[in-house]
Protein backbone atom coordinates (compact mmCIF):
# COMPACT_ATOMS: atom_id res chain seq x y z
CA UNK A 1 0.00 0.00 0.00
CA UNK A 2 2.13 2.83 -1.26
CA UNK A 3 -0.63 5.37 -0.64
CA UNK A 4 -0.07 5.43 3.15
CA UNK A 5 2.57 7.59 4.84
CA UNK A 6 5.83 5.73 5.52
CA UNK A 7 8.50 6.33 8.15
CA UNK A 8 11.83 4.46 8.10
CA UNK A 9 12.70 2.91 11.49
CA UNK A 10 15.98 4.84 11.54
CA UNK A 11 13.96 8.07 11.88
CA UNK A 12 12.30 6.84 15.09
CA UNK A 13 13.93 6.97 18.51
CA UNK A 14 14.72 3.60 20.11
CA UNK A 15 12.20 4.48 22.82
CA UNK A 16 9.51 5.74 20.42
CA UNK A 17 5.93 4.83 21.25
CA UNK A 18 4.66 2.69 18.38
CA UNK A 19 1.56 0.59 17.72
CA UNK A 20 2.42 -3.06 17.01
CA UNK A 21 -0.39 -4.87 15.15
CA UNK A 22 1.26 -8.33 14.98
CA UNK A 23 -0.17 -11.46 16.57
CA UNK A 24 0.58 -12.40 20.20
CA UNK A 25 3.22 -15.04 19.36
CA UNK A 26 5.13 -12.55 17.17
CA UNK A 27 4.92 -9.89 19.91
CA UNK A 28 6.18 -12.29 22.58
CA UNK A 29 9.33 -13.09 20.56
CA UNK A 30 10.41 -9.46 20.26
CA UNK A 31 9.04 -5.94 20.06
CA UNK A 32 10.05 -2.30 20.44
CA UNK A 33 10.43 -1.42 24.15
CA UNK A 34 7.65 1.20 24.25
CA UNK A 35 5.32 -0.47 21.76
CA UNK A 36 1.61 -0.84 22.45
CA UNK A 37 0.29 -4.22 21.28
CA UNK A 38 -3.09 -4.33 19.58
CA UNK A 39 -3.36 -7.12 16.98
CA UNK A 40 -4.76 -5.94 13.65
CA UNK A 41 -7.93 -8.01 14.09
CA UNK A 42 -8.64 -6.29 17.43
CA UNK A 43 -7.92 -2.72 16.30
CA UNK A 44 -11.50 -1.59 15.65
CA UNK A 45 -12.66 -2.79 19.08
CA UNK A 46 -9.67 -1.30 20.93
CA UNK A 47 -9.37 2.23 19.49
CA UNK A 48 -9.59 3.63 23.01
CA UNK A 49 -6.24 1.98 23.80
CA UNK A 50 -4.30 3.81 21.09
CA UNK A 51 -1.33 5.65 22.58
CA UNK A 52 -1.21 9.43 22.42
CA UNK A 53 1.88 10.71 20.60
CA UNK A 54 3.06 14.03 19.21
CA UNK A 55 2.58 13.78 15.46
CA UNK A 56 1.58 10.68 13.50
CA UNK A 57 1.35 7.38 15.37
CA UNK A 58 3.97 4.94 14.01
CA UNK A 59 2.37 1.55 13.26
CA UNK A 60 4.34 -1.64 12.62
CA UNK A 61 3.99 -5.33 11.94
CA UNK A 62 6.63 -7.80 10.73
CA UNK A 63 7.27 -6.38 7.25
CA UNK A 64 4.85 -3.51 6.69
CA UNK A 65 1.80 -5.11 5.04
CA UNK A 66 -0.57 -5.43 7.99
CA UNK A 67 0.56 -2.12 9.44
CA UNK A 68 -0.09 -0.40 6.08
CA UNK A 69 -3.67 -1.71 6.22
CA UNK A 70 -3.95 -0.49 9.81
CA UNK A 71 -2.63 2.98 8.86
CA UNK A 72 -5.08 3.21 5.94
CA UNK A 73 -7.98 2.26 8.22
CA UNK A 74 -6.89 4.55 11.07
CA UNK A 75 -6.59 7.45 8.60
CA UNK A 76 -10.15 6.78 7.43
CA UNK A 77 -11.22 6.98 11.09
CA UNK A 78 -9.61 10.41 11.45
CA UNK A 79 -6.36 9.40 13.15
CA UNK A 80 -2.92 10.57 12.05
CA UNK A 81 -0.73 7.49 11.56
CA UNK A 82 2.35 6.39 9.62
CA UNK A 83 3.54 2.96 8.55
CA UNK A 84 6.96 1.92 9.87
CA UNK A 85 8.60 1.01 6.56
CA UNK A 86 9.83 -2.60 6.69
CA UNK A 87 8.24 -3.23 10.10
CA UNK A 88 10.00 -5.10 12.89
CA UNK A 89 12.29 -6.77 10.35
CA UNK A 90 13.69 -3.34 9.40
CA UNK A 91 13.62 -2.18 13.06
CA UNK A 92 15.84 -5.12 14.06
CA UNK A 93 18.09 -4.70 11.00
CA UNK A 94 18.62 -1.05 11.96
CA UNK A 95 19.95 -2.21 15.34
CA UNK A 96 17.03 -0.71 17.26
CA UNK A 97 16.39 -1.82 20.81
CA UNK A 98 14.05 -4.80 21.29
CA UNK A 99 12.59 -6.65 24.24
CA UNK A 100 10.92 -10.05 24.50
CA UNK A 101 8.39 -11.67 26.80
CA UNK A 102 10.19 -14.17 29.03
CA UNK A 103 13.90 -14.90 29.22
CA UNK A 104 14.72 -15.55 25.55
CA UNK A 105 16.72 -13.06 23.50
CA UNK A 106 14.38 -10.90 21.41
CA UNK A 107 13.97 -11.77 17.74
CA UNK A 108 11.59 -11.22 14.85
CA UNK A 109 9.57 -14.18 13.59
**Residue-wise DSSP of the chain:** -TTS-EE-GGGS-TT---EE-S-HHHHHH-B-TT-EE--GGGTGGGGGGPPP-SSSEEEE-SSSHHHHHHHHHHHHTT--EEEETTHHHHHHHTT---B-SSSSPP---
User: What is the mean pLDDT for each group of 10 consecutive residues in the chain (109 residues)?
Assistant: 86 95 97 97 97 96 97 96 97 96 91
**pLDDT at residue 109 in the model:** 84
Is 25 within a domain?
Answer: yes
Q: How far apart (Å, rounded) are the C-alpha atoms in residues 85 and 58?
A: 10
- Bridge partners, residue 7, by sequence: 84
Q: Which domain holds residue 56?
A: 6-93
Q: How far apart (Å, rounded) are the C-alpha atoms in residues 59 and 84?
A: 6
Is 65 within a domain?
Answer: yes
- Bridge partners, residue 58, by sequence: 82
**pLDDT at residue 2 in the model:** 58
Read off the CATH number of the domain in which 50 is found.
3.40.250.10
Is 87 within a domain?
Answer: yes
Active site residue 65: no
Number of domains present in the structure of the chain: 1
Is 35 within a domain?
Answer: yes
Is 107 within a domain?
Answer: no
CA distances from 87 to 45, 59, 93 (A): 23, 8, 10
Q: Which of 57, 60, 61, 108 is catalytic?
A: 61
Is 109 within a domain?
Answer: no
Is 72 within a domain?
Answer: yes
Amino acid sequence: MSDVPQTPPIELADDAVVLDVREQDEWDLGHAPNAVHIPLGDLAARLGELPQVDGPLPVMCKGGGRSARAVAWLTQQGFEATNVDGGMTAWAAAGKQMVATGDAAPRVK
